[in-house]
Amino acid sequence: MNYTEIIKGLERLVKIPEYHVLGKLRDNLVFFSTAQGVTNISALINTRVVRLTKEPISFPSTPKSHLDFLVFARDIERGKEKHAVYACNLKGEEYEIASPRVRIMSVAYDDKNVAFVGSSEDGTYLYVIEGGKLKKLNDVPPFSFVTDIEANHITGVSVVSPRSQDFFIADLSGELKILTPKQGSVNQPYRIKGNKVYLASDYENIGESYWIYTYDLASNTYERVDFPERDIYQYKPVEIFYDPEDKLIISKRDGRENLFLNGKLINTVPGTLTGATVIDNYIYFSHSSLVSPHKIYRVDKEGGKVDVVVDNEEHVDLGQVEYVKIQSYDKVEVPTWIIKSKAGKVPSTAVVYVHGGPWGEIDDRWNSIISSLLLFGYHVVTPNFRGSTGYGSKFYLMDIGDPGGGDLMDVVKVRDYIVGKKIAEKVGVMGYSYGGYMTLLALGREPDKWDFGMAGASVADWIEMYELSDSTFKGFIELLFNGKNLDLMKERSPITYVNNVKAPVCIIHSQNDSRTFLSPVIRYVQELHKAGKSFEFHVVPDAGHADYTVDDLINFTLPAIMFLEKLRKKWEEN
Amino acid sequence: MNYTEIIKGLERLVKIPEYHVLGKLRDNLVFFSTAQGVTNISALINTRVVRLTKEPISFPSTPKSHLDFLVFARDIERGKEKHAVYACNLKGEEYEIASPRVRIMSVAYDDKNVAFVGSSEDGTYLYVIEGGKLKKLNDVPPFSFVTDIEANHITGVSVVSPRSQDFFIADLSGELKILTPKQGSVNQPYRIKGNKVYLASDYENIGESYWIYTYDLASNTYERVDFPERDIYQYKPVEIFYDPEDKLIISKRDGRENLFLNGKLINTVPGTLTGATVIDNYIYFSHSSLVSPHKIYRVDKEGGKVDVVVDNEEHVDLGQVEYVKIQSYDKVEVPTWIIKSKAGKVPSTAVVYVHGGPWGEIDDRWNSIISSLLLFGYHVVTPNFRGSTGYGSKFYLMDIGDPGGGDLMDVVKVRDYIVGKKIAEKVGVMGYSYGGYMTLLALGREPDKWDFGMAGASVADWIEMYELSDSTFKGFIELLFNGKNLDLMKERSPITYVNNVKAPVCIIHSQNDSRTFLSPVIRYVQELHKAGKSFEFHVVPDAGHADYTVDDLINFTLPAIMFLEKLRKKWEEN
């Protein structure tokens, strides 16, 4: 095996940066970036890219366009997702605002205050930081996230029951209301503007499609937002993101996104838009696809001319993308990307790559893991199994009460499809987080289907994981299992099926992961070992569930690719 | 971190082959080699190197010069050291002789028979293969090894008590005698020639130095072997290897070896000789040192002119070697190599590299792990702690009944010495097998002494390891602990001190290791994790205790070097 060639290719690939437009600060474009190997906030100031943060960040807030600073969170306990809150400004200065050392999933700010939901073993609370002082405002449901604060009001999401995603309005005095336009609908508040909260909701068409509404804080009434241009009305978005300040919509359907200004379709590039904002006469947007890395473009509002403003120096030619809907055992269609590697023969080895979440999806977006596989000649197939987002709430709620059930069958059906289509001679399953869970479960419950498996940040035992979880993730597991259903948790845990595993498996896990904990995975590995199975195991130190650096990415992709290359070498020899 | 540069350097280095002259088959030089990335037997036929074996081998026998074939053992259960016995011939053909699937530590043959000691959970037995038929001849003590078979007789080593290494003589009818010229002496039989067994023994000078004797099978008497030339008499060898056919002695003192023919010192190269044989007018020998890879030379018996006959294409310039004896806590001197890396400043980071065994040593011999460390700028310091071989039996028997006691103190004293001499600003401990054990124990019992640790194939818990061991390794542990001393085993187990560990540690272990088992190490890792320590853990699949391929070496060295490079980067940033 030529190790140098493997690393050289891999290193080049994982260093390709991501860009996500966040918005603007005083007419300067602000974006999230992974350039220079770490997650950071950057700005485009007079056509020059300026990095505003130094150490890796966890996530940014949405910039307020009239201010010159931006709030963000940083993990200060080596991957444990115990966060502190910081601000950075256009001069590239950064400072700590408060260090609550709780799990924070999102943060919002205005000129005076910062708001976030923080979770620990004790519970989940809404916090505000007023003039540097941290204040616990309210108990909130375990699975809640802030999306905006403006003057006296805070808004955010609260998933109150498995089948109802409500939103909350809190004020700084401590009053909190959890609201829904209709029981069982899914609601996503974006921004507060004046007396109105802008939100997406499927309440008029539950489970099928979303539209944009306002909620009036004074009258407690909902109103549809309408647009002068009519393009958006033909598009029927399955998911929708709206920026009321710029009147920009990013609308999703079948894993690709379109951009609308005032309802008018804007000329972009096929793939996924990871953010957009209007500055002067231009719309700036970030874009990527499964086979093309992130770039930031701007498009002339009037003429529609598209330019690249932040380029990606690496040019890659990885493979050919096909989007199919594959029928599962019960006629449910599983939207799937099949990406045939340019470096691989057909048929050869395929990886069924299972996304995390389960509330997530593989859309037509750059993904370092997928592109690494393609680079080395592996075909990649990505089932958006029932439970995935991007296809309406009816589809994603199908996983409630049945994780590792119907979704696993979907993955197996997709595997059978590509074997039937003679794309794969050898086929394995791979995933991270919920995808890692599905990988281990697939190997144990459907052992004859796989030639190999690779599981990152996986779940081996839901019961131990539940015990170890903080309030937010206890809440998450209860949503997923429709309550604290220990029998189902046991039945759906990979450790229950460890003796059935047949394929060699590579397990990679970060030591400080505080979502999918390491300890049950070590137990799983001990059981694999005692049963004489063939496996690799790599524990990554001082890291957690999220990737903040290129090193974090290498820690996952390098063992995975080396594991595959060793297998391929063995197959070729026999 | 530049991963490509790291791998490139490492890959180049670990691919540098080893050569060990084994002897000759009908005047063709035969040697063990790791060229082309796997352990193999090669021959020099008409100045051309011909590889005689295909798949990796475990170990060869000593060739019989009048035959055209050679017997060897191969691990046929993915590193578990369950062996089959094969032969290869000068035409490069190989065939299986028998597949007993027991642990074999050495094998001997003549024109008709093959002999070996085989061990399993059931016991340790002397076997013979006569005309393809496997026959169990005798029970032998658990720690026994065959060294020769000739006509009706088999000889080998039997360690019957911690302080007495006897030898055995068996005949094909099943009669077995365990012999010693003197109770408490250390004896090493080499070859049977006619009615005589040639052996090294310290019985005339117990614990100090060895000489060569014959044991007469008919008269049961011992006789000194004398030589016409007198050089060897001035040399006073601490260890000695003798080939009675060629009258060649390889003699060791202070970690370097000299070659003698008929007692006359032969012109070689400073370092370690890994084998020698006489063909026509030349002595062929293999040689390496800590900073120069293996080559095979030949020296003119008369003129003393030295030529390279099998070269090593890679030329390296790694550092400067110094040999010192460092006083331990009780005045015992610890022979130690200090190798300052050419690529590292002084002071910078040093690795105290602890060898395995404990009955082994770091002599002036090429070692891929040490040279990898030097390549990346790490200084390497190698204590030959009490218990090491190469310094007489008194020294190596000091470990009996005290593993992880005085030997650990020696390692710590050597660490203090190099810190005192300002060679190291940061200092860590590293080792494989018994060296991995010492690493974990050092981190737990002397936590303030170390900035990092790297343990391969380590022992975390002697009690569980004893329970899992086969007859040979149960015997080994009983020798080491002077009986089945469970209290001492517990006191000397790293898992007892896991909560004291302070330094970050990288643990690497092969899944199928059947000497130092994985399962107690997984338990140790679970404890490290629960105590919140910083660690990496890498389990290598389908491999065991021994390295057979370059891939096996990379599996150990790559995570270790990456672990160190990440630490160094962190130190440089702070």
Sign of CA dihedral A235, A384, A73, A311: negative
Residue A309 neighbours by CB under 8 Å, 6+ apart: A29, A44, A47, A284, A296, A297, A298
Contact A142, A118 (CB under 8 A): no
Residues of chain A contacting residue B540, judged by C-beta atoms under 8 Å apart = 536
CATH for B493: 3.40.50.1820
How far apart CA A182 and CA A201 sit, in angstroms, is 9
Q: Which DSSP state fits B229?
A: S
Return the axis-axis angle of helices A550-573 and A368-375, rounded to nearest 10°: 30
Are B526 and A526 in contact (CB < 8 Å)? Answer: yes
* Beta bridge partner(s), residue A518: none
Instruction: Decide if pLDDT at A164 tops 90.
Output: no
Cβ distance A354 to A430 under 8 Å? yes
* Whether residue A341 sits in one domain with residue A307: no
Q: Do A529 and B519 touch (CB under 8 A)?
A: yes
Mean of the per-residue pLDDT values for chain A? Answer: 95
Q: What is the 3-state secondary structure of B519-540?
A: HHHHHHHHHHHHCCCCEEEEEE
Distance CA A459, CA A493 (A): 8
Is 80 exceeded by the pLDDT of residue A314?
no
Q: How many helices (H) and strands (E) in chain B?
A: 11, 35
Same domain as B284, residue B241: yes
Query: Is the domain of A292 the same as that of A322?
Result: no
Taking contacts as CB-CB distances below 8 angstroms, the residues of chain B near A538 are 536-539, 559
pLDDT for A401 equals 96
Query: Would you say residue A425 has pLDDT above 90?
Result: yes
Q: Is residue A388 domain-shared with residue A303, that is, in the same domain? A: no
Distances in Å between the Cα of A392 and the Cα atoms of A242, A252, A331 are 17, 10, 17
- Residue B179 CB-density burial (10 A; 0-12 exposed, 13-18 middle, 19+ buried): middle
* pLDDT the model gives residue B209: 86
Contact A530 B539 (CB under 8 A): no
Secondary structure of residue A447 in the 3-state scheme: helix
What order do you get walking across the sheet with B187-193 strand by strand? B187-193, B196-201, B211-216, B222-224
CA distance B227 to B248: 10
Query: Cα distance from A208 to chain B (closest Cα, Å)?
Result: 45
Residues of chain A with Cβ-Cβ distance to B530 below 8 Å are 519
> Residue A505 falls within a domain, yes or no?
yes
| Contact: A522, B519; criterion CB under 8 Å | no
- Asked if residue B352 and residue B289 are part of one domain, the reply reads no
Rounded to whole angstroms, what are the CA distances from B342 to B6, B320, B323? 16, 7, 17
How many domains, chain A? 2
Per the listing, tokens 């007859």 go with B471
CATH number at residue B273: 2.40.10
Return the pLDDT at B35.
94
Report the alpha-carbon distance of residue A288 to residue A255 in Å, rounded. Answer: 12
Closest CB to A541: pick one of B6, B530, B534.
Answer: B534
Residue B406 falls inside a structural domain: yes
Residue of B565, B570, B555 whose CA lies nearest to B79:
B555
In B, minimum Cα distance to A9 occurs at B4
State the burial class of residue B89 (Cβ atoms within 10 Å of its Cβ: 0-12, 13-18, 19+).
middle
Nearest by CB to residue A534, choosing from B10, B523, B541, is: B541
Residues A321 and A298 in one domain: no
Mean pLDDT of the region A359-370: 96
Which of these, B297, B263, B226, B272, lies nearest to B390 by C-alpha position?
B272
Q: Would you say B172 and B135 are in contact if contact means Cβ atoms under 8 Å apart?
A: no
Closest of B123, B199, B113 to residue B152, by C-alpha? B113
pLDDT at residue A127, rounded to an integer: 97
User: Best residue in B6, B7, B534 to probe A by mutation, most A CBs within 10 Å?
Assistant: B7
Reduced 3-state DSSP string for B175-221? CEEEECCCCCCEEEEEEEECCEEEEEECCCCCCCCCEEEEEECCCCC
Same domain, B375 and B486: yes
In a 3-state reduction of DSSP, which class is residue B442? helix
Chain A residue with CA closest to B506: the answer is A541
Among candidate residues A266, A287, A312, the one where a domain is terminated: A312
Query: Above 0.90 for ipTM, yes or no?
Result: yes
Question: What does the pLDDT read at residue B246?
Answer: 96
Give the integer Cα–Cα distance in Å for A172 and A176: 9
**With bands split at pLDDT 50, 70 and 90, how would you rate the model's confidence at A304?**
confident
Q: Summarize pLDDT for A104-145 with one digit per residue, the tens.
A: 999 999 999 999 999 999 999 999 999 889 999 999 999 999
**Residue in this structure with the two tokens 């039945």, named with its chain if needed:** A491
* Cβ separation B540–A538 shorter than 8 A: no
Question: In terms of CA atoms, which chain A residue is nearest residue B513?
Answer: A529
Q: pTM score, two decimals?
A: 0.95
Given phi > 0 = left and psi -120 to 50 = alpha, else beta, which region is B131?
left
Closest Cα in chain B, distance from residue A12 (Å): 9
- DSSP result, B323-354: EEEEE-TTS-EEEEEEEEETTS-SSEEEEEEE
- Helices B3-14, B550-573: crossing angle, 10 deg rounding: 140
Among the listed residues B352, B410, B369, B365, the one whose alpha carbon sits nearest the alpha carbon of residue B386: B410
Interatomic CA distance for residues B463 and A561, integer angstroms: 37
Q: Identify whether the C-beta of residue A311 lies closer than 8 Å to the C-beta of residue A386.
A: no
Angle B3-14/A3-14 helices, nearest 10 degrees?
A: 170
Cα separation, A171 vs A183, in Å, equals 23
Q: End of a domain among B280, B312, B344?
A: B312
Q: Is the pLDDT of residue A464 over 90?
A: yes
Domain boundary among A294, A312, A330: A312
Query: CA–CA distance from A520 to each of A464, A475, A525, B535 (Å)?
Result: 6, 19, 9, 17
Domain assignment of residue B364, yes or no: yes
Whether residue A421 has pLDDT greater than 90 = yes
Query: Is residue B532, in this structure, part of any structural domain at all?
Result: yes
Compute the radius of gyration of chain B from its Cα atoms: 23
Residue B502 domain boundaries:
317-571
Residue A303 pLDDT exceeds 80: no
**Cβ-based interface (< 8 Å): residues of A facing B:** 1-4, 6-8, 10-11, 78, 504, 506, 511, 518-519, 522-523, 525-526, 529-530, 534-542, 551, 554, 558-559, 566
Peptide bond into A347 cis (omega under 30): yes
- The predicted-structure confidence for A501-536, as pLDDT tens digits, reads as follows 999 999 999 999 999 999 999 999 999 999 999 999
Residues A420 and A480 in one domain: yes
Contact B554 A523 (CB under 8 A): no
Q: What's B74-114 look like in SS3?
A: EECCCCCCCEEEEEEECCCCEEEEEEEEEEEEEEEECCCEE
* pLDDT for res B460: 98
- Both B240 and B328 in one domain: the answer is no
Nearest to B504 among A4, A541, A566 (CB): A541
Domain co-membership, B551 together with B440: yes
- CA distances to A456, A459, B458, B510, B533 from A521, rounded to whole Å, are 10, 7, 21, 18, 17
Residue A123 counted as domain residue: no
B307 and B385 assigned to the same domain: no
pLDDT higher than 80, residue A167 = yes
CA-based radius of gyration for chain A: 23
Question: Residue B32 has what pLDDT?
Answer: 98
3-class DSSP state for residue B399?
Answer: helix
- Å between A344 CA and nearest CA of chain B: 23
For A10, list phi and psi in degrees, rounded to 5.
-65, -45
- The pLDDT assigned to A193 comes to 95
Name the helix (H) or strand (E) containing A178: strand A176-179
Strands B94-109, B113-119: pairing kind: antiparallel
Instruction: Reduce the secondary structure of A70-106 to three states and give it as a string.
Output: EEEEEECCCCCCCEEEEEEECCCCEEEEEEEEEEEEE
Whether A18 is in a domain gets the answer no
Does any domain span residue B334?
Answer: yes
The secondary structure of residue B38, as a DSSP letter, is B
> For B537, which of A7, A504, A539 is closest by C-beta distance?
A539
Q: Do B1 and A551 touch (CB under 8 A)?
A: yes
- The predicted structure's pLDDT at residue B314: 74
The verdict on a CB contact (< 8 Å) between A7 and B4 is: yes
Whether A164 is covered by a domain: the verdict is no
Q: Is the domain of A407 the same as that of A554?
A: yes
- CB-side exposure of A97: number of CA atoms within 13 Å? 29
One pLDDT digit (tens) per residue for chain B, 574 residues: 788 999 999 999 999 999 999 999 999 999 999 999 999 999 999 999 999 999 999 999 999 999 999 999 999 999 999 999 999 999 999 999 999 999 999 999 999 999 999 999 999 999 999 988 999 999 999 999 999 999 999 999 999 888 889 999 999 988 999 999 999 999 999 999 999 999 999 999 998 889 999 999 999 999 999 999 999 999 888 899 999 999 999 999 999 999 999 999 999 988 999 999 999 999 999 999 999 999 999 999 987 889 999 998 777 889 999 999 999 999 999 999 999 999 999 999 999 999 999 999 999 999 999 999 999 999 999 999 999 999 988 999 999 999 999 999 999 999 999 999 999 999 999 999 999 999 999 999 999 999 999 999 999 999 999 999 999 999 999 999 999 999 999 999 999 999 999 999 999 999 999 999 999 999 999 999 999 999 999 999 999 999 999 989 999 999 999 999 999 999 988 7
Q: CB A551 to CB B566 under 8 A?
A: yes
The order of strands in the sheet holding B248-253 is B239-243, B248-253, B256-261, B264-266
Tokens at A222, concatenated: 């909902």
